[in-house]
């Protein structure tokens, strides 16, 4: 009897996202491995629909699923909620806030965080959309802006509150711009009768000549026209050079007066990577072999947004989307098993299943091989794909019901401003911001009257 069959290998998977989840599923099919999935949250978050939480379309629990529930039928897979603090590669010990955790094989799939590219003020004042908490913060902020603007006598302040700047014209930025426009034109238009449609400005800021870089030109052109139809103002070939509490400055010198900046322009590897003493490459991602493991520590694999597979000087990476993370997670698990079995490891090669993005109601773009689909049928395709990838049968049913209700009645059902410890209104994320001049005098006078 081999050592592999007589004694279970201890496998640790860091991260319960797409890469970590699919890696665990591969090990769940095999004997001889005891797997522990570690994450700081006890749930898997379906990030492709996170923008709908931020635009009052869904609740976060409708796109989340308990990790323990996912592993319930995988008898060799366990879950542990912990925060990673470091890694001892020589001793094969993971350092965490619950103590040291030993492993025989490790898969790091901790995902990514927002990259602000060093733009002054961006991290402090702009909103990111990478977690359920951030999505709720954005929803609270957007709805609160309308509540404040409804009774704001100062036109300048009113304009700031009703101007929304979205930085980044990729799928997330485009989908959120479309969802926000639909929210404004339907539910909020009826809720806030004192506000005119023309008072609201939604601006999409993108460095390229249009949205959805990387998509075929036909689909990009359609998306651009569709955004214009939704009254989304495209600021293309523009870069943000500074973000402040009440305005942003573009490279052209133009200044946009706003208290809402949503940053979707880029990502970088999870900050935990810096604590692990690993080789880091572009965008703080961990450099690996084409087989997704470390050259000096072959029992350590990296998958998902955090991985930077290199074939010599050439990156072997796919787009930072769920299918890429799923494929890398599954391959990392298979290659780790191959390593223990002494068989050849397979290099990663991304299989492109297509790209898609929705742009408001009944509209989307889909690129599947030679097929380039736009409009209603693309939108139906987008709905089906996202429902299939969503974890949990109950979640699929609830999301489908929500989408059906919204489609039939032009109504967003989650227009709630939830209590939170930190108020983001009326000055964005800067609680310490103190207005000056006429604006400060107006606010102080109003505060005195209210008391």
**Catalytic residue positions, numbered:** 175
Q: Which residues contact 48 (CB under 8 A, 6 or more apart)?
A: 322, 386, 389
Q: Which residues contact 402 (CB under 8 A, 6 or more apart)?
A: 57, 58, 62, 413
Angle, helices 376-389/393-409, rounded to nearest 10 degrees? 150
Give me 337's structure tokens. 């098993």
| Whether the Cβ atoms of residue 322 and residue 47 lie closer than 8 Å to each other | yes
Q: Which residues contact 271 (CB under 8 A, 6 or more apart)?
A: 113, 284
Helices (H) and strands (E) in the chain, counts: 14, 25
Q: What are phi and psi of 448, to 5 degrees?
A: -65, -40
Report DSSP letters for 171-228, one per residue.
Answer: HHHHHHHHHHHHHIIIIIHHH-TTS-GGG-EEEEEESSSSSSTTS-HHHHHHHHHHHH
CA angle, corner 247, sides to 266 and 448, nearest 5?
130
- Pairing relationship of beta strands 105-108 and 9-14 according to DSSP bridges: parallel
| Whether the Cβ atoms of residue 332 and residue 346 lie closer than 8 Å to each other | no
- Pairing relationship of beta strands 201-206 and 163-167 according to DSSP bridges: parallel
Determine the straight-line distance between the first and last CA of the chain, rounded to whole angstroms.
80
Greatest Cα pair distance, the chain, in angstroms, is 83
At residue 358, the 3 state secondary structure works out as: strand
Sheet holding 307-311, edge to edge: 286-288, 307-311, 314-315
Pairwise CA distance, residues 138 & 157, whole Å: 19
Burial grade of 277 (CB within 10 A; 0-12, 13-18, 19 or more): exposed
C-alpha separations of 440 from 1, 124, 157, 407 in Å: 78, 21, 11, 43
């Amino acid at each position: 009897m081999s050592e592999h069959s007589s004694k279970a290998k201890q496998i640790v998977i860091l991260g319960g996202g797409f890469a970590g989840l699919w890696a665990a599923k591969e090990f769940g099919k095999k004997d001889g491995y005891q797997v522990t999935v570690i994450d700081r949250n006890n749930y898997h978050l379906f990030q492709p629909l996170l923008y709908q939480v931020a635009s009052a379309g869904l609740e976060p629990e409708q796109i989340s699923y308990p990790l323990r529930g996912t592993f319930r039928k995988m008898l060799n897979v366990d879950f542990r909620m912990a925060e990673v603090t470091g890694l001892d590669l020589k001793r094969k010990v993971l350092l965490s806030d619950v103590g040291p955790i030993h492993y025989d094989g490790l898969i790091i799939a901790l995902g990514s965080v927002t990259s602000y590219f060093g733009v002054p003020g961006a991290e402090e004042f702009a909103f990111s959309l990478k977690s359920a908490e951030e999505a709720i913060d954005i929803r609270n902020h957007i709805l609160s802006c309308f509540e404040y603007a409804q009774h704001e006598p100062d036109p300048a302040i009113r304009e700031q509150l009703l101007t929304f700047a979205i930085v980044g014209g990729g799928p997330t930025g485009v989908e959120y711009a479309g969802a926000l426009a639909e929210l404004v034109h339907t539910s909020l238009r009826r809720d806030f009768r004192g506000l005119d449609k023309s008072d609201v400005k939604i601006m999409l800021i993108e460095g390229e000549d249009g949205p959805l870089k990387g998509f075929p030109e036909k689909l990009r052109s359609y998306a651009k026209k569709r955004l214009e139809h939704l009254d989304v103002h495209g600021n293309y070939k523009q870069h943000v050079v500074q973000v402040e509490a009440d305005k942003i400055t573009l490279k052209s010198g133009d200044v946009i007066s706003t208290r809402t900046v949503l940053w979707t322009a880029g990502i970088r590897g999870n900050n935990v990577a810096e604590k692990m003493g690993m080789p880091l490459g572009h965008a703080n991602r961990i450099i690996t072999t084409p087989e997704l493991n470390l050259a000096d520590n072959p029992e350590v694999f990296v998958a998902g947004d955090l991985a930077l597979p290199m074939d010599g000087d050439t990156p072997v990476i796919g787009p930072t989307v769920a299918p890429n993370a799923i494929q890398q997670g599954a391959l990392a698990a298979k290659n780790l098993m191959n390593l223990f079995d002494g068989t050849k490891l397979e290099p990663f090669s991304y299989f492109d299943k297509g790209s898609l993005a929705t742009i408001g109601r009944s509209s989307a773009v889909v690129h599947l091989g030679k097929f380039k689909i736009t409009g209603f049928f693309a939108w139906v395709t987008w709905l089906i794909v996202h429902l299939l990838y969503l974890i949990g049968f109950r979640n699929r049913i609830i999301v489908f019901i929500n989408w059906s209700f919204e489609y039939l009645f032009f109504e967003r059902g989650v227009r709630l401003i939830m209590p939170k410890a930190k108020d983001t209104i009326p000055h964005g994320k800067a609680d310490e911001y103190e207005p000056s001049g006429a604006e400060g005098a107006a606010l102080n006078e109003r505060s005195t009257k209210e008391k």
